[in-house]
Amino acid sequence: MSQVRVRFAPSPTGFFHIGSARTALFNWLYARHTGGVFILRIEDTDKERNSEAYLNLIYDSLTWLGLNWDEGPKVGGNFGPYRQSERGDIYRDYIERLRGAGRAYEKDGALWFRLPGERYKVFDDHRKKEVEKVKIAPVVIEDRIRGRVERVEDEDFVIVRSDGNPVFHLVNVIDDIAMQVTDVIRGEDHLSNTSKHVLLYEGFGATPPRFAHIPLILKQNGPGKMSKRDQGALIEEYQRRGYLPEALVNFLCLLGWNPGDDREKMPIAEIIRLFDLPGVNQSNARFDDKKLAHMNMAYLLELPPERFETLARAYFERQADSVVAQAALSAPADYFSSVMRLCQPKIKGLEELPAYSAYFFTEDFPIDPKVREKVMAKGDPKARLREFAAALPGFDLATDAGIEQAIKDLAAKLGFGFGDYQAVVRLALSGTNVGPSITGMVRVLGRDRVRQRIEKFEAGH
RNA sequence: GCCCUCAUCGUCUAUCGGUUAGGACAGGAGAUUCUCAAUCUUCAAAGCGGGGUUCGAUUCCCCGUGGGGGCGCCA
């Protein structure tokens, strides 16, 4: 069998969203699974709505997700150009072939595709007008996911607008023929259009590709499919929020596909090995940001610390206008590194990082009044803090275990528990009751900073 | 309105006619721990309705119902 050639064909008319990304992903997976070719083709025939910014967003998003294309803009290929706006000559040739075969005619300034068969007129009460229909056998589509689908396409349709621009159905089919696409993998929203496409293939005397219509992604709340306007729909939003692309890709794979067993978190190489079109579900899936967040956390936890640190720095750099980010970025490299190692196992996503780590980078952090009230209400925390400060010079701060032992010794000597010191020291050092281990905090902050913060706290509270 | 399509816990899903209907996220409870997370244990939670076919249907067929999509000189 000849090599698989699939394409992802977005139009740069809006933000790149989850649904498009999943379609791109499934095409990419199928190409990688079969050792085929993944083509990127830009469907920019709608001059009114196209923009270069949206085009660049497509490139950026695909690249960020790791969905590299083998043919297309920037990388070239033997079937170019890969932007429809540059393929006018090709379309003209194909259109002439259609005219020559008597399958296209002009009406109202536009070019129409002629269906073969007997004609009759009928009133369409949805469109509130009389339309001409054609008696024609149903088009049969052997869909790789849906099975056998039959649909009657019984009206001529426009293929070139009166302004001279060819419509989507036409150029989509022409390009798939010209680029020798073997498998069309796209959203189910195109299933009803497929009858038009099959008829066009026949009009051109070409054999249609195999079709695979994948289920749609439904919006998280409310009715309908996910669209660019929905909360959490944009790829760039996840990029900006510091999500890990491998986590997002893994999550997206599971929306409409599964390996056939209970595994969920899987390396992409394993997904490529197992992915196949018959394994794709038929029913639509609702987007679930909680599950995505969980997947992201799982990936974040197992990241090598150096990579976490790199990503964290990049995240702060994107927030250059924030005071916390400024402070974090201007901290000494080894200090920043130590703080990140403390934070990585504790946070669920990079976007928690600024709030979670702020007090490491500034002395001007707030004391949470509710936490203060709670901590100061029990026992005699001020006394514990004084005792801690007094013992601090004798602590060995080299390791967490050493610090833990020092606090335990102090507590045992004076007849208190570890917790009696932990809570109030944490409050004085961070202003809150959440965070990394107290031993790690003391070690990373260092003796001087710890002493100063305790003194400042004692003076103010 | 017409056409296409889909239907298992709240959500994502497993089950190739025979299972105590399994897993994951979210939720509840507990354990662990220096806080908070994480982690571990555990609880609750599903076959849309009605007909068939069959010894036996979540699984196959039909009809409803419900969801989704399409019916543009948008893609």
What is the DSSP code string of A73-118? TTTB-TT---BGGG-HHHHHHHHHHHHHTT-EEEETTEEEEPPPS-
**Which ranges in A254-304 belong to alpha helices (H)?**
268-274, 289-301
Whether CB of A288 is under 7 Å from strand B: the answer is yes
Distance CA A387, CA A376 (A): 15
Indicate if the pLDDT at residue A126 is higher than 80: no
State which residues between 228 and 267 of chain A bring their CB within 7 Å of strand B. 254-256, 258, 260-262, 264
Beta-bridge partners for A286: A218
- Say whether pLDDT at A1 is over 60: no
User: What mean pLDDT is predicted for residues A141-170?
Assistant: 93
What span, in angstroms and rounded, lies between the C-alpha atoms of A203 and A101? 8
What does the pLDDT look like over A162-213, one tens digit per residue? 998 899 999 999 999 999 999 999 999 999 999 999 999 999 999 999 999 9
* Reported ipTM: 0.93
Distance measured from the CA of protein residue A302 to the C1' of nucleotide B38, in angstroms: 12
Is the confidence at residue A325, as pLDDT, over 60?
yes
pTM, two decimal places: 0.93
Distance CA A363, CA A278 (A): 59
Query: What's the rounded Cα separation, in Å, for the pair A448 and A450?
Result: 5
pLDDT in tens, A65-114: 999 999 999 999 999 799 999 999 999 999 999 999 999 999 989 999 99
Amino acid found at A194: T
Chain A window 65-94: residues with CB closer than 7 Å to nucleic chain B are none
Mean pLDDT over all residues of chain A? Answer: 92
pLDDT at res. A256: 93
Measure CA to C1' and name the residue nearest B3: A151
Secondary structure of residue A21 in the 3-state scheme: helix
Check whether A39 has a pLDDT greater than 60: yes
pLDDT at A146 over 70: yes
A371 touches strand B (CB under 7 A): no
Both ends of chain A: CA-CA distance in Å?
78
Q: How many CB atoms lie within 10 A of CB A153?
A: 20
Q: Please, which pLDDT band fits residue A130 given cuts at 50, 70 and 90?
A: confident
Residue A458 confidence (pLDDT): 86
Catalytic residues of A: 228
What pLDDT, on the 0 to 100 scale, is given for residue A13?
86
CA proximity to A141, closest of A214, A209, A216: A209
A165: CB within 7 A of chain B nucleic strand: yes
Q: Give A461's pLDDT tier (boundaries 50, 70, 90).
A: low
A443-CA/B71-C1' distance, Å: 68
Across A156-163, average pLDDT: 93
Mean pLDDT of A227-244: 89
Average pLDDT over residues A294-312: 95
**A236 CA to B49 C1' distance (Å):** 43
pLDDT confidence band for A439 (50 / 70 / 90): very high
**Strand B nucleotides within 7 Å of a protein CB:** 1-8, 10-15, 22-26, 34-39, 67-75
